[in-house]
Amino acid sequence: MSFTLAIVGRPNVGKSTLFNRLVGKRLALVDDQPGVTRDLREGAAKLGDLRFTVIDTAGLEEVTDDSLQGRMRRLTERAVDMADICLFMVDARTGITPTDEMFADILRKRSSHVILAANKAEGRAADGGVLDAYSLGLGEPVRLSAEHGEGLDELYHMLRPLS
């Protein structure tokens, strides 16, 4: 059985970097789904022998006014509802922010399977941020470096039983 994984989290944590790594050039199908394409990018992901659909919540970065929080919330809720599993990404270099806590709240209420990922975790500079992530109450964070391709084996082992 295949599944759909949504990558959620505030802007700039590295969601699209992970999406691109999982999808490579296998960008989806979704150009013919009106309304979804711009804000939610969908792709055919490959990780080891797993094949699944991955959703990237995009379309947030360009919004800079007060509507950002509301827009992030609505878009994230849509992605969560489309997905079987959510990968909630935080930035291990900046640590946990109030916006991360807002996301954690949405996920606790709305998603059954949440994988917490502390990204940008290459090197010791990220150690504090990784520990910080435990405070979100979503279990043990997976240490990831989307940019350097680190932690993907651990992600594989978390996804495999759910597939």
CB of 129 to Mg ion, least distance (A): 19
Q: Which is nearer to ligand GDP, 2 or 125 (CB)?
A: 125
Asked if 143 is part of the footprint of ligand GDP (rule: CB under 6 A), the reply reads no
Q: Which is nearer to ligand GDP, 46 or 148 (CB)?
A: 148
Query: Could you give the strand order of the β-sheet that contains 85-91, starting from the edge strand earlier in sequence?
Result: 40-47, 50-57, 4-8, 85-91, 114-119, 142-143
141 is known to lie in a ligand binding site:
no
> Using the rule CB under 6 A, which residue among 22, 28, 146, 159 binds ligand GDP?
146
CB of 1 to ligand GDP, least distance (A): 28
Q: Rounded distance, CA 84 to CA 41, Å?
A: 16
> Which residues touch 66 (CB under 8 Å, ≥6 apart)?
none
Q: Name the residue number minimizing CB distance to ligand GDP.
A: 14
Judged by CB under 6 A, the stretch of 22-30, 36-44, 63-71, 141-149 that binds ligand GDP is 141-149
Q: Name the residue number minimizing CB distance to Mg ion.
A: 16
Which residues, 59 to 88, sit near ligand GDP by CB under 6 A?
61
Residue in the block written with tokens 């990204």? 119
Strand, coil or helix: what is 105?
helix
| Structural contact between residues 6 and 86, judged by C-beta atoms closer than 8 angstroms | yes
15 is known to lie in a ligand binding site:
yes
The 8-class DSSP code of residue 139 comes to -
**Residue 3 exposure: Cα atoms within 13 Å on the Cβ side:** 17
Judged by CB under 6 A, the stretch of 80-88, 95-103, 134-142, 145-153 that binds ligand GDP is 145-153
| Structural contact between residues 133 and 116, judged by C-beta atoms closer than 8 angstroms | yes
Q: Which residues bind Mg ion (CB under 5 A)?
A: 15-16, 58
Q: Which residues bind ligand GDP (CB under 6 A)?
A: 11-17, 61, 119-120, 122, 145-148
